[in-house]
A and B are shown apart, each in its own frame.
Chain A
Amino acid sequence: MLLIRCPVCGVKGEEGDFHAGGQAHVRRPATSDPVNITDEQHRDYLFLRHNPKGLHFERWRCDRGCGKWFHAARDTVTLDFKAYYKIDELPPVELMRQATGYWAEHFAPHLKATKAKKPVAKRNARVRS
């Protein structure tokens, strides 16, 4: 059972106190343009999810705490949480840099954009020493 910390209210709890929300940073195409959504875009939005070995970015909800959704970066091999960040934030820059495969592609434009700016989110301490 995972041990998770909510970055919004700060509570640390058991996996069962949280709700897993699947892959992070999936945007709904219709929200920005409800008219021109190709079948492929729609399919990818509904069904295409990634399951990388290693660094992954997920959504969680602080179910029995503040009720807020947040993001977490987790290593799917060691199950270590690398960072927690808010639902409207991008991962810490160093994690975006570490990302591989799908996530590297996904974050590339953001990394470009943040090069000049300061990091988007502060890295949270790891749960376990």
Chain B
Amino acid sequence: MTGKPYRLPESAGAGRLTDRAKPVSFTFDGKKMTGFAGDSLASAVMANGQRLLGRSFKYHRPRGLVGLGSEEPNALVGVGEGARHEPNLRATQVELYDGMVAVSQNRWPSLGFDVGAFNNRLSRLFPSGFYYKTFMWPRSFWKTIYEPTIRHAAGLGKAPTGRDPDTYEQLHVHCEVLVIGGGVTGLAAAEAAASTGARVIIADENPRFGGLADIAGGKIDGRPQTDWAALRVQQLAKADNVHVLARTTVAGHFHHNYLLLFERLADHDPQLIADGVPRHRLWKVRANQVVVAAGAIERPIAFANNDRPGVLLASAARGLVERYGVAPGLMGVLFTNNDDAYRTALRLKEAGVGIACIVDVRQQVDGALAEAARAAGFEVMSGHAIAGIETDIGGKAISAVKVAPYSSGQGRVINEEKIECDFVAMSGGWNPAVHLWCHNGGKLKFDDSLQTFVPARHSDAISIAGAANGRMSVGECIAEGYAAGEAAAKAVMSKAKAVRMKPPSTEQEAEKRLEPIWFAPATGKYNEGNKHFIDFQNDVTAADLELAQREGYESVEHTKRYTTLGMATDQGKTSNVNGLGVVSQATGRVIPEIGTTTFRPPYTPISMGSIAGTSVGKLFLPVRKTPVFSWHEAEQANFEPVGEWRRPYCYPKMNEDRQAAVNREIMVVREGVGLLDASTLGKIEIKGPDAAALLDRVYTNTFSTLKIGKGRYGLMMNEMGFLMDDGVTVRLADDHFLMHTTSGGADRIAAWLEEWLQTEWMELRVFVTPVTEQWAQFAVAGPKAREVLQALGGDIDFSADGLSFMSMAEGRVGGYPVRVFRISFSGELSYEIAAPANFGRGLWDSLLKAGEPFGIKAYGTEALHVLRAEKGFIVIGDETDGTVTPLDVGLDWAVSKKKTDYIGKRSLEQSYLKAPNRKQLVGLYTEDPNEVLPDGAYAVEKVTDKPPMKMIGQVTSTYWSPTLKRSIAMALIEDGRNRMGEMLLFPLAGKVVKAQIVDPVFYDKQGARQNV
């Protein structure tokens, strides 16, 4: 088949958008093809004589073009190669450029010969709910066999390979009026709104404005509609207060008029990308007023095998000719229930495309357009419907349609007539594009004359006009557009100097009422090899919807989920109302009674790149750095994320692996002296006459009795009685405390304290000030820690009596102003030294220098964790998981029995938190000292051949202890403290590890090492 007959000669006066002087070459499925500048990918492929554009989702039926724009359900293609491949684009919206590489989707091995098409032969075995009903057993097959096979067979396009090389950006914009849609209605609304000086954004998903002005017929001020539209666009583009956005889909409407606009800046021209233009831009718009002028979408008719390539919407046939000069075929049949479709017959004839006859379901056809068609010589078969389609083998091309007499409510077809043709243009009426109206709760009502849903009410500052509001004539559209634009601007602008817009004169053929047809009966026995498609994209047929009703899915929302009607990227653009019509007939309920399903954003898919915007790579998440971060980097530390912080995990030396480095660092602390960057530790200053009172209420233990210059370890519970934070809080003055929190909890705890002060204990006079980043803080830990600090010099007495355990001092060390806290998280003699952040690096370097003779070495967070585990200290988030009380982890001593009130106290009295079988913290020694249990391993009561086994607890921390030269673990075990000495079983993959319950303090139980 050559392309020639499909590209109409220039003399036909068609192809308004294409430039015949600029040929463009591209490939489709590897086949070299040519088109013209201005073509869409769909029109160019069609012009080359190929009408097969894809395979359907479930049955793999051959599919061709149906629509003209974003409503296209079938022709989904992938464009670009490698990392620049973008799947699931509508071929109707892809603007052709030279060198484009495009592929069809959902076929294997090729579009012409597809193995999956076998599904179509078996379709009686694949009714709705097939997956739910069939792939139930055996359960293990789902993951290994069923799902991978189904995923391979179904699904749409393929993901690109490699990292996206292009840039994307986002904009945040405010405007007074956002107009959605740039057809005549939208342009009128924007013109009216802009005339008041309001900031206006008008967006249209197409590369050019005017909507369907070029194919809607009729004139404005005696000239083509497109002239009027072009002038408006020109004027709006010149205005300072208007953004005119082409190729921009308003993807979603959200609360309080927040909208997402998806602009495709460079998809249509690879040169732009090469010049560094972002590929896509996501506009995040907050509009005072929104005008929806999204137009209308033609609906198909459900007749037998209406999905064959060559069956397309009448508007699409008209548009192909008018815009691209491409004939949908050589000889067609028009199938309609309304007057508008006659424009297609007239336009196609004008361009020299053959129409064998017009099949109209209405008994009486006498509208102005029908009369014009008759006058032009068309045969109009009124009271008829298409009862079937004849195709070549494989169903890839139409050879004829079967037409039979039709009257509403009629059953099986008996006498039929065959009409040879190679395409069918169908029109079942028009549906207002109400998707965006509905995204944020807009209500709809059924319109009897249009036989579709039209907008009713909305609680947002949003209005709807033109075809989207069910106004189908150009005169009504402009008048309503002006009115909506004026009203929107007036509602926002304080002194709106609205120029009262004077609607132009319009002329357009009047249209007579349509007759709804939800199902055209087929020849032969019911459903014998025939499929009446409702939702092309999701392969939902009329029979599927009827089956859903028979099986009891009466609610339309249930029908949707059971059959997949109106789901996925299509969101029911062409299928919604037809589906409701079928359900209505199947149940005997009228459509308004059935209601509609929910339209969800996005209107059409938006790219992942645009969602990410510039938040990629280093900009994805800011990294919090301590004042000595650059030193860690220079030492080539192994980093680990702790919230937004990056902390050194360990500092491996040459040829040293992580485990060896950690072991070495631990022994440095146990035998000599180590230095830890603890700057991330949460620090909150609490000041005011009631500071102590606040601490008494948020901690389980008492702080009002704490002496100045002393610290105390505190536990914080939430109101449920569960541990949420811990740390040492130091009293700096009578009314002044410094609270230490976990590194991850600093922000949360500061907000927590604020919340209580602001909302519950308003009488307390306390300031809470987070100061984590104002201080650098380092732990000097190990038997030689005191000597290092003394060597550094200063005015602080570091002797055992001068600065006793759990005391603090302020002064100077090595010339730096510091606060020193004698606290220990390692069980060794240990000082935490805090200096204002700007002195951090200097102090760090001084400590290293002073410590050099003592062999000081930096240690990382993993050594820190092992050191604390050896001592049985808990870590919030390791030993606790939001369901653990202080009693569970054996910290009863820190829970006050005297205080009348503190957060969580009342909950601890609940019986379930005092139950004897609760999980309690214990230590574990594995039977084999070299076996380190995995984190989170479960202990079971009894090991059986296969699950389920009764679990009695889990490992919370587990390490190799170089100090003890064996593995150690902490675990939460049911009634653990009463099971001391018991051997527990941990079934792991391929083995069972035995471990004995021991005291969780593994090392220096008396605390002798830190009290020196």
Contacts and interface: CB of A to CB of B under 8 A. Distances in A.
Interface of A: 1-3, 14-15, 19, 21, 27-31, 34-35, 37, 39, 42, 45-46, 59, 61, 67-69, 77-80, 87-88, 127-129
B136 interface: no
Interface in B750-785: 751, 754-755, 758-762
Given A3-B286, A78-B459, A129-B288, A37 B906 contact: yes
B901 A34 contact: yes
Nearest to A129: B491
B901 A30 contact: yes
Interface in B689-745: 719-720
Contact of A3 (B256, B755, B758, B760): B256
A64 B760 CA distance: 21
B391 interface: no
Given A30-B906, A42-B907, A2 B256 contact: yes
Given A28-B760, A46-B719, A129 B901 contact: no
A127 B256 contact: yes
Given A3-B286, A77-B459, A30 B491 contact: no
Contacts of B258: 1, 3, 14
A129 B256 contact: no
Contact of A128 (B288, B762, B910): B288
Contacts of B254: 1
B688 to A, nearest CB: 17
Contacts of A39: 910
B720 A69 contact: no
Given A1-B258, A67-B754, A30 B762 contact: no
B906 A79 contact: no
A88 B762 contact: yes
Interface string B667-693: 000000000000000000000000000
Contacts of A30: 901, 905-906
Nearest to B254: A1
Interface in B309-327: none
23 contacts: A1-B254, A2-B255, A3-B255, A3-B258, A15-B255, A19-B751, A28-B719, A28-B760, A30-B906, A42-B907, A46-B719, A61-B751, A61-B755, A69-B758, A79-B255, A79-B459, A87-B758, A87-B762, A88-B762, A127-B256, A128-B256, A129-B288, A129-B461
Most B-side CB within 10 Å, residue of A2, A28, A45: A28
B376 interface: no
A128 B461 contact: yes
Given A1-B255, A31-B760, A88-B762, A69 B755 contact: yes
B296 to A, nearest CB: 27
A92 B237 CA distance: 47
Given A3-B286, A77-B459, A88-B762, A35 B256 contact: no
Contacts of A80: 459
A69 B751 CA distance: 11
A129 B299 CA distance: 37
B804 interface: no
B719 A129 contact: no
Contacts of A42: 906-907, 910
B162 to A, nearest CB: 32
Nearest to A29: B906
B459 A46 contact: no
A69 B286 contact: no
A79 B256 contact: yes
Given A37-B906, A42-B910, 8 more contacts: A1-B255, A1-B256, A2-B255, A46-B907, A68-B758, A127-B256, A129-B461, A129-B491
B655 interface: no
A14 B286 CA distance: 10
A39 to B, nearest CB: 8
Most B-side CB within 10 Å, residue of A39, A80, A128: A128
Contacts of B256: 1-3, 79, 127-128
Contacts of B459: 77-80
Interface in B471-508: 491-492
Nearest to A24: B759
Most A-side CB within 10 Å, residue of B905, B906, B907: B906
Contacts of B25: none
A46 B286 CA distance: 37
Contacts of A27: 760
B759 A59 contact: yes
Contacts of B720: 46
A76 to B, nearest CB: 11
B257 interface: yes
A93 B719 CA distance: 32
A128 B901 contact: no
A129 B492 contact: yes
Contact of A31 (B288, B758, B761, B907): B761
Contacts of A3: 255-256, 258, 286
Nearest to A15: B255
Contacts of B761: 31
A8 B719 CA distance: 27
Nearest to A37: B906
B410 interface: no
Interface in B895-929: 900-901, 905-907, 910
A34 B900 contact: yes
Interface string B244-270: 000000000011111000000000000
Contacts of A35: 900
A5 B361 CA distance: 57
Interface string B264-305: 000000000000000000000010100000000000000000
A34 B590 CA distance: 61
Interface in B208-222: none
Contacts of A61: 751, 755
Contacts of B255: 1-3, 15, 79
A41 B801 CA distance: 50
